[in-house]
Amino acid sequence: MRRAVLRLGEWLGLTAWLLGIRRSVALDGLRRAFPALAEAERRRIARAAYVQLGRSLAEIALPMSADELSRSVRFEGWDRYQAALAEGHGVVFAVYHFGNFELLSREGARRGMKLAIIVRNLGDAFSRWLFRNRMRSGVRHLPDRGSSRDALAFLREGGVLAVAVDQNMRPKRGVFVDFFGDKACTTPAAAVFALRAGAPLMSVFPFRQPDGTHLVRMLGPYTTALSGHAAVVDLTQQVTRALEEQVRVHPDHWFWVHRRWKTRPPLAEPEGGMRGSAG
């Protein structure tokens, strides 16, 4: 039964690719990230990413016992995370739409991780279903607006705060950092919370293994010698660079159907401070 559901998920992902659902968005992102690759290779990666995403959705739909979960997800760098947590200020995780994050959060909670995720309440049926499943595993949700005080209190209580840092942001809510050689407007929230709480900032990446299990690599903590806004930008750049490094190795694991570079930096003023004008 389990194998059939996973194959169904892969088939649904492939069907979405064949139907062209956000296919142009995925291919545009791959052209930005891998301009030297042949178009046929970029299409192969995109197709594999759709299949991987479909399988991940099928995995989270399947009920799993605690034993099945522990066999399916293992961690590399758990001791690094425990050392960071032992500092007593909580831990901030920069997380990404990479691999199967949902299983990562479930197994982390099963292991006793006190986890809260900053979320955007989209209100659709799938998001409501996903949120209910997370909360059943003991994961707490905090809204992406107006929850700074709760998030900082959670960290001071020794919690782990997860913040997705790989989605396009509006200019007023993001900072521009380099991502595959282009400027990407990125949330500074992970860096801001880590700096304000004195919490170590780490990143986590779940990789699908050939046997179908998942290896979660925990990287960091990331540090900076800068202060103020410069420190925020520096840390945001570091966690973004970590994603780029992992995507280069496993490009089929990332969520290419998102318009990551949608927000563009403001145009620099010409020398002398005056913009050209027509007529």
Residue 279: per-residue pLDDT? 30
Q: How confident is the model at residue 227 (pLDDT cuts 50, 70, 90)?
A: very high
Residue 274 has pLDDT above 50, yes or no: no
Q: Which residues contact 205 (CB under 8 A, 6 or more apart)?
A: 96, 98, 99, 216, 217, 219, 242, 246, 253
Residue 224: per-residue pLDDT? 98
With a pLDDT cut of 90, the percent of the chain lying above it is 77
Mean pLDDT, the chain, rounded, equals 91
Residue 276: per-residue pLDDT? 35
If you compute the radius of gyration of the chain from its CA atoms, what whole number of angstroms results?
Answer: 20
Q: Can you give the residue ranges of every domain in the chain?
A: 1-62, 73-250
Angle at 94 between CA 37 and CA 134, to 5 degrees: 105
Q: Are strands 182-186 and 175-179 parallel, antiparallel or unpaired?
A: antiparallel
Q: CA 221 to CA 218: how far, in whole Å? A: 9
Residue 83: per-residue pLDDT? 97
Residue 178 has pLDDT above 80, yes or no: yes
Q: CA 55 to CA 9: how far, in whole Å? A: 5
Asked whether the beta carbons of 175 and 188 are under 8 A apart, the reply is yes
Q: CA 26 to CA 43: how far, in whole Å? A: 9
Residue 122: per-residue pLDDT? 64
Helix axes 39-61, 101-110, angle to 10 degrees: 40
Q: How confident is the model at residue 33 (pLDDT cuts 50, 70, 90)?
A: very high
Q: How far is CA 215 from the centre of its chain?
A: 16
pLDDT tens readout for residues 186-222? 999 999 999 999 999 999 999 999 999 999 999 999 9
63 against 125, higher pLDDT:
63
| Strand, coil or helix: 279 | coil
In whole angstroms, how far apart are CA 13 and each of 16, 17, 22, 248? 5, 6, 12, 22
pLDDT tens readout for residues 105-138? 889 988 999 999 998 766 677 777 777 777 777 7
Residue 123: per-residue pLDDT? 67
Q: State which H helix or E strand residue 246 sits in.
A: helix 228-249
Q: What is the mean pLDDT of residues 88-114?
A: 93
pLDDT tens readout for residues 128-164? 777 777 777 778 888 888 889 999 999 999 999 999 9
Q: CA 9 to CA 209: how far, in whole Å? A: 17
Residue 235: per-residue pLDDT? 98
Residue 270: per-residue pLDDT? 44
Residue 215: per-residue pLDDT? 97
Question: Which pTM value belongs to this model?
Answer: 0.91
Residue 90 has pLDDT above 90, yes or no: yes
Residue 20 has pLDDT above 90, yes or no: yes
Q: What is the mean pLDDT of residues 26-46?
A: 98
Residue 141: per-residue pLDDT? 87
Structure tokens at 84: 């960071």
Q: How far is CA 223 from the centre of its chain?
A: 19
